[in-house]
Amino acid sequence: MLAQGPRSTAPPAPRAPDPDRLAWIRREAARLEGRAPEEILGWAVQKVPAGLSLACSFGMQSVVLIDMLHRLGLLSRVEVFYLDTGLLFEETLAVREALRDRYGLEPVRVCPNLSLDEQARRYGDRLWERDPTRCCALRKVEPLRRYLAEKEAWITGLRRAHGKTRAKVPVLHWDAANGLMKINPMAAVDEKEIWRYIHRRSVPYNALYDQGYPSIGCAPCTRPVAPGEDPRSGRWAGQDKTECGIHVDGEVIKTAGSGI
């Protein structure tokens, strides 16, 4: 049985770091730049012995990070979670089952306060078509903030090659929007390297990648991408939007030089 995320209170105000903590994060980010993802994962588990979580989108970065933690003998030291928006592809949920079969993994299921029916009654049907930013806030950003309020750090699969909004993402920084340290072991990893790892290790992956989906989100808001297009152009196609908000602080993702 998957654990259920909180369904009631509004997200608390994010915690602010003290200056010494920020300075330490900057130093460690500089030191870890260029290191292998496995080394960064080992560092994370050592430095955050409790309250460390891994955000799992069931995408290619997530499955590789899970396999790496498994190979390092560290998977049990990290709480893996996913955001269940109620709108995930069946192919995405199939990866969840494959990870359970392979690693015995039971990721924590983090849900929105509102069911899809409740959201439709309050905001109208198919909110993602009329106001995708609000829909993402209700179904992703707010549930994530509630979940992370009790954590010390989280690991993501963010990569710089994902698009212009992520081009300078650091391997480590303070996540001001959620009030904790954020660790991005895959930031500098090339997509070809990820696929080599997946095929070499026979890691389960989302079948939608083989159908022209380089970036996979909620089913109503994701389309295949033509060769040469930005990898995230298939997300919210036709909208002036390429980020759901969970990796955005203000209007752009913070960079290593921003001090956050």
With contact defined as beta carbons under 8 Å apart, do 6 and 147 qualify? Answer: yes
Cβ count within 10 A of residue 162: 24
Give the N- to C-terminal CA distance of the chain in Å, as an integer: 37
135, 136, 221, 244: which one is catalytic?
Answer: 244
Residue 56 annotated to the active site: no
DSSP 91-127: HHHHHHHHHHHHH----EEE--SS-HHHHHHHH-S-H
d(CA 91, CA 170): 30
* Helix (H) or strand (E) run with residue 173 in it: strand 172-175
Which residue, chain included where needed, has tokens 């109620």?
86
Q: Report helix, strand or coil for 172.
A: strand
Q: Chain-centre distance of CA 224, in angstroms?
A: 20
Residues 6+ apart with CB under 8 A from 107: 2, 56, 80, 81, 82, 96, 99
Token representation of residue 85: 């928006």
Any idea which residues carry the catalytic annotation?
Answer: 244
